[in-house]
Amino acid sequence: MTNDIRSRIANLSDQLHFHIYRYHVLNDPVIGDSEYDRMFRDLQDLEAEHPQYARADSPTQRVGSDLSGDFAKVAHPAPILSLANAFDEADLRHWEERNLRLLPSGSRLRYVLQPKLDGLAIVISYENGELIRAATRGNGVTGDDVTANVKTIRSAPLRIPLDPAAGPAPARLVVRGEILFHKDSFLELNREQAAQGLPAYVNARNTASGSLKQKDSRETAKRKLTAYIYDIVDSQGIELESEWQILRYLKSMGFKVLADASRCSSLDEAIEQAAAWEARRDDLPFEIDGLVLKVDELSAARELGVAGKDPRGAIAFKFPAEEAATTLLGITIGVGRTGKLTPTAQLEPVFIGGVTVSSASLHNYDQVAALDIRQGDRVVIKRSGDVIPYVIGPVIGARKGDETPIQPPQLCPFCVAEVVQPDGAIDWYCPNQICPERIMRALEFFVSRGAMDIEGMGPQTIAALIEERLIQDEADIFALQAEPLLALEGFAEKKVENLLSSIEAAKARPFEQVLTSLGIDGVGSTVAGLLTDNFASMADLQATAELISKAEASFLRNTLPLLPAAAADDSDVEKLRQRLRHPTTELAPRYMQGAELGPRLERLLRPLQLPVESLTLVAAQLQQLIDACRPLHTIEGLGPILARNIVDWFTDAHNQTVLKKMQAAGVNMKAEEKKVSGTALTGQTFVLTGTMSAPRGEIKALVEANGGKVTGGVSKKTSFVVAGDSPGSKVEKAEKNGVPILSEDELRALLGE
């Protein structure tokens, strides 16, 4: 019995150490927070009952650490404590009873209740009102200095008070808060990732942590992080008596505090409010994993003191898990319209957050390998908001040894083509363009709302038409005739008539929608809009893609033979070689802006020790490629990977055939004629930047209505840059290229307004 307990304590300690490392050091947890909390609490309970077996290195004896080697270390003025957890009402009542026993008899406690943010803890120091330092929580005693990065977060004031009327700045104020993504900012970040052809971020908290730990604060600035402040760690020159006063004081200084914090006159009141919080959890702008309940009177909280690493006067009330562990029964593989293989976990059904979950996303095989998820594993599933449930990781401790590793399939399960993993890609693909599953998915997408929007063409109809060999690609839809359709089962006259008329109507969809419907990897309606803003027709876009492809082929043909014979041990040379093999993504974007390609390229290629004639040739070839790429690559919001996808799509023979058939069938492939009412700007090219009196689209229409052209990137061909409020880097580029800069008023003056 005693040996049992001793080994259970040792076992739990070991497991928790592993998970702490995954979570805090690698930023890559393999179990969910609630699973971790449960294990942690089990260990705490066992140690409390059997202190003689508690190990000196027990995870309960130390706080977690998010320290990483890249940053200077900062000592906090006071320990940044963590909170003990309560999981139900009984835990809360027990907590209050224990506290009351420690206080003079007859004491009554009031509480402040606020949401527990699921972000990254931060400690910010102000001296005489000026932000002088910001540090992560680290191990609670020492943190990483992330001052430069925190300064880019707009809700973290650089100077307090924001409103001078709030009174003088305190001589010294060290505050504690949390940095996180609002749900909509996180979604937006993932939309941008998608537009760049990059994989989506999965976990908002980890992404916030990663964003704050960028070495280059400009990278942090690009992420829309928010800083909430809720506590004072240390101060000089202010006297406050309650938690409630602290929150009000922080607010008066200009910090973003949790607007919905409430003061409760009793624990009953707090418990009642907690239920309401839980009910509206999904409606909040940020993720929360519970509530924080603090004793309001600071004098009482001080008297209660600290137990281990947790202050007795505060507790985290965790919401029931939206995570659960279950068994991974198997993997099914989906093939999308681009051929991408998506593994899905088939699970023993489990009840999470009010629904039964029997399958969950595994994202991709890279993720499966990174998490070491095996067939037969116990896995932890997370479900939050409307996100598809996903697998967080295996419960390593539950392994029996007969679990089998999961590998990507060698053949497409639908067409048995050999699957491929393109250079640099995370995903595996079925490369077969006539794979029935790919065609099915492509057609489903093609007819969907937002794409060609063909009513009456549901998945069953598509499947029937493929089965009868009436359609084999998107363009075949436009060649459908009444006769063969009427011969199909379930296709009455009325139904056929409606279907044919909605197909006819689809031919006139706007160019942007037609482009979206092609299903080019990463080209949704937003990117399609960017393309149609810059290309007047499908033919223009195709011509540009072909030009780029030709210039790239020429670059490769002419420059690769110049490379010196492989020196396998020289990694710099090998890296350069790789770059030269992918010039449109690795070289052209980098050298597109700015003058004097020659000397810059020479610096890059120095390790190759090429003779001067070779350098000149590489530069000439690259210049040719850059010129070809410019119309596509200078579109703002369109990254090199996406440009690559577009070029690949348009230069593919199968896709070209489909496009030709669509064109012949009368599908619209041109942007709408711009209505030109004046000629004041004819022949001039404009670039717009910054905030103007009207939306960018309206200003653009105004320029175009007067014969001008609007493009995304500044080049020597740009006639004017029009700069509104807080313009971006384009103004600098304009200055460098000698392009004149106009204000919005000056633009309007040109139009005689």
Catalytically active residues are 116
- CA 291 to CA 102: how far, in whole Å? 24
CB of 473 to Zn ion, least distance (A): 15
Applying CB under 5 A, which of residues 412, 451, 646, 647 lies at the interface with Zn ion? 412
Q: Which is nearer to Zn ion, 308 or 409 (CB)?
A: 409
Query: Minimal distance in Å, beta carbon 335 to Zn ion?
Result: 5
Q: Rule CB under 5 A: is residue 319 a binding residue for Zn ion? A: no
Q: Which residues of 298-319 are buried (b: 16+ CB within 10 A; e: fewer)?
A: bebbebbeeeebbbbbbbbbbb
Does residue 415 touch Zn ion according to CB under 5 A? yes
The yes or no reply on residue 341 touching Zn ion (CB under 5 A) is no
DSSP 141: S
Are the C-beta atoms of residues 658 and 613 closer than 8 Å to each other?
Answer: no
Q: Check binding of 414 to Zn ion (CB under 5 A).
A: yes
Nearer to Zn ion, 180 or 430 (CB): 430
Residue 747 binds Zn ion (CB under 5 A): no
Residue number with CB closer to Zn ion (146 or 439): 439
Smaller CB separation from Zn ion, 39 or 430: 430
Residue 643 engages Zn ion in binding (rule: CB under 5 A):
no
Which among 161, 451, 116 has a CA at the least distance from the CA of 281? 116
Where does this chain touch Zn ion (CB under 5 A) — which range of 261-269, 408-416, 544-552, 628-636?
A: 408-416
From 64-72, 424-432, 585-593, 666-674, give the range in contact with Zn ion by CB under 5 A. 424-432
288-295 and 111-117: which strand pairing?
A: antiparallel
Asked if 18 touches Zn ion (CB under 5 A), the answer is no
CB of 416 to Zn ion, least distance (A): 7
Q: Closest separation between CB of residue 422 and Zn ion, Å?
A: 15
Interface size with Zn ion, residues (CB under 5 A): 6
Distance CA 495, CA 169 (A): 74
Q: Does 430 bind Zn ion (CB under 5 A)?
A: yes
Residue whose structure tokens are 């039964």: 356
DSSP string, 586-615: HTHHHHSSSS-HHHHHHHHHGGG---HHHH
Contact between 420 and Zn ion by CB under 5 A: the answer reads: no
Count of beta carbons in the 10 Å neighbourhood of residue 603: 8
| Closest CB 413 distance from Zn ion, rounded Å | 8
The count of other CB atoms within 10 Å of the CB of residue 13 is: 22
Closer CB to Zn ion, 435 or 687, in the complex: 435
Among 88, 484, 109, residue whose Cα is nearest residue 312: 109
Interatomic CA distance for residues 164 and 549, integer angstroms: 60
Residue 51: cis peptide before it, omega within 30 degrees of 0: no
CB of 418 to Zn ion, least distance (A): 10
Q: Which stretch binds Zn ion (CB under 5 A): 19-27, 415-423, 450-458, 558-566?
A: 415-423
Q: Of 5-13, 37-45, 111-119, 423-431, which part binds Zn ion (CB under 5 A)?
A: 423-431
Q: Which stretch binds Zn ion (CB under 5 A): 26-34, 172-180, 405-413, 502-510?
A: 405-413
439 vs 723 by CB, closer to Zn ion: 439
User: If binding is defined by CB under 5 A, does position 435 make contact with Zn ion?
Assistant: yes
Alpha-carbon distance of 335 to 332, in angstroms, equals 10
Beta-strand pair 84-86/314-318: parallel
CA torsion angle for 324, 325, 330, 331 (degrees, to 10)?
Answer: 50
Please answer whether residues 143 and 74 qualify as being in contact, where contact means their C-beta atoms are separated by less than 8 angstroms.
Answer: yes
Closest approach, Cβ 147 to Zn ion, in A, equals 52
**Size (the chain), residues:** 753
Give me the residues that bind Zn ion (CB under 5 A), please: 412, 414-415, 430, 432, 435
